[in-house]
Amino acid sequence: MILVHDKVSAPLDAGDLSGVRQALQAAIQLEHSTIPPYLYALYSLDLGRNAPVAETLRSVVKEEMAHLALAANILSALGGTPVLDDPALLPRYPGQLPGTVEHGLVVGLRPFSIDLVRDTFLAIEQPEHPLKFASTDPAAANTPDAPDALRTADGTGGSPLTIGQFYRRIAAAIEALGDGVFATATRNQVTSTLLPDVIAVTNVATACQAIGTIISQGEGTSSTPAEVTGSGMAHYYRFLEIVHGRRLVQDPSLRGRYAWGAAAVPFDPAGVYRVPVDPRTARYPAGGRARRACAAFNNSYTCLLKTLHATFNGDGGQFATAVGLMMSLQEQAIDMMTEVTTGGVPAGPSFEWQPAEAD
């Protein structure tokens, strides 16, 4: 489990609008920081051998992007300015995610493995009290019994918070401030059919709806692993399905509660490209194709962040450009990892700030 440092939530104690804005900017940075590690693992998979696992990762990344957009929409509606194009705010891998407690989880850029999902991805998404599940298949192993009840975290201040608790404190602060702190006209809201969960935020109700989506899609609830707003599992439980190699299903014998079913989530370890752990542009040979490919990727990544910054700060017409850049990143990363653009050198993108192509 990762915990948000109390200094990140401390601005909320003041009970003013400035504190809520600071907390939302921290949430944006935290949401963004999870995306490169998930993408790196996704791009390292041979889709011909590991399509089910890749689809799970792709679905989580899409919703993480939606969470970033929802946090940005809330901040904009409160008169704030979402910042995505400041290199000082970007995470460095390997390292702790921004705003988390010292000596906590170290997150890096690693090719996909079950160990990575179990030790890192589950820790990122873990709620305070994860649900456990029985098995409907006697042959399934390592499936602990489901608890009868689970208490909900209260998210009070004074100590590090889970991500869900952090968001609940933001929601409580917004409710206390009331509708009067929102912009009188719809302000810099980004919505798209590509991210159907992203709503325009205009008041307390829509802000709390947005926060509820973020929490339930990441953690589920105290009684179900499923999303409240969608038809799938919350992120933590999607990753748990990969680790267990089984799907969660509703079991009528358990009054509709979820249990591990017989349906498998297959993973072929041979279907992972031989890419490096925690790459850096400077570590590739100077003048080599791998270094040039990494620099080109980072240039596109930097352009994407600048474009998203413009999009969330009033230039909605830039969203189409941002989508194009996202597709370009995928193509560039896969070409690197499959050694198409690296001259046979195993390579992966480093997600570093680079405003202009350089060797």
Q: Residue 239, class by beta-carbon neighbours within 10 Å (0-12 exposed, 13-18 middle, 19+ buried)?
A: buried
In the chain (359 residues long), the average pLDDT of successive 10-residue segments reads 91 94 97 97 97 97 95 98 92 93 89 98 92 70 37 49 94 98 94 92 98 93 82 91 94 82 94 97 95 96 95 90 92 96 94 75
Which stretches within the chain are classed as H helix? Answer: 6-9, 17-43, 51-77, 114-116, 122-125, 163-177, 204-219, 235-244, 289-312, 319-337
Q: What per-residue confidence (pLDDT) applies to 65?
A: 95
Q: In terms of domains, do 152 and 191 share one?
A: yes
CA distance 114 to 39: 15
Residue 26, domain CATH: 1.20.1260.10
SS3 318: helix
Q: In terms of domains, do 266 and 287 share one?
A: no
Q: In terms of domains, do 161 and 205 share one?
A: yes
Give the residue carrying structure tokens 């947005």.
210
Q: In terms of domains, do 212 and 240 share one?
A: yes
Q: What per-residue confidence (pLDDT) applies to 148?
A: 32
Sign of CA dihedral 275, 276, 280, 282: negative
Domain with 313, as residue range(s), is 281-337
Q: In terms of domains, do 221 and 74 share one?
A: yes
Query: End of a domain among 271, 294, 321?
Result: 271
Write the single-letter amino acid at 158. Answer: G
Q: How far apart are the first and last CA of the chain?
A: 38
Count of domains forming the chain? 2
pLDDT tens across 167-200, in order?
Answer: 999 999 999 999 999 999 999 999 988 899 999 9
Q: What per-residue confidence (pLDDT) applies to 143?
A: 42
Q: In terms of domains, do 157 and 191 share one?
A: yes
51-77 and 204-219 helices cross at what angle (nearest 10)? 160
Q: In terms of domains, do 134 and 156 share one?
A: yes
Please state the φ and ψ torsions of residue 18, each to the nearest 5 degrees: -60, -40
253 forms bridges with which residues in the sheet? none
Q: In terms of domains, do 263 and 316 share one?
A: no
Write the single-letter amino acid at 140. Answer: A
Q: What per-residue confidence (pLDDT) applies to 67?
A: 96
User: Do 225 and 131 contact (CB within 8 A), yes or no?
Assistant: yes
Q: In terms of domains, do 210 and 295 share one?
A: no
Q: CB-based contacts of 221: which residues, under 8 Å, 6+ apart?
A: 228
Instruction: Give the tokens for residue 15.
Output: 């009970």
Residue 347 domain flag: no
Q: What per-residue confidence (pLDDT) applies to 221?
A: 84
Task: Report which of 250, 209, 245 is spatially closest to residue 233, judged by C-alpha positions.
Answer: 250
Number of Cβ atoms within 10 Å of the Cβ of 37: 22
Q: What per-residue confidence (pLDDT) applies to 137?
A: 57
Residue 313 domain flag: yes
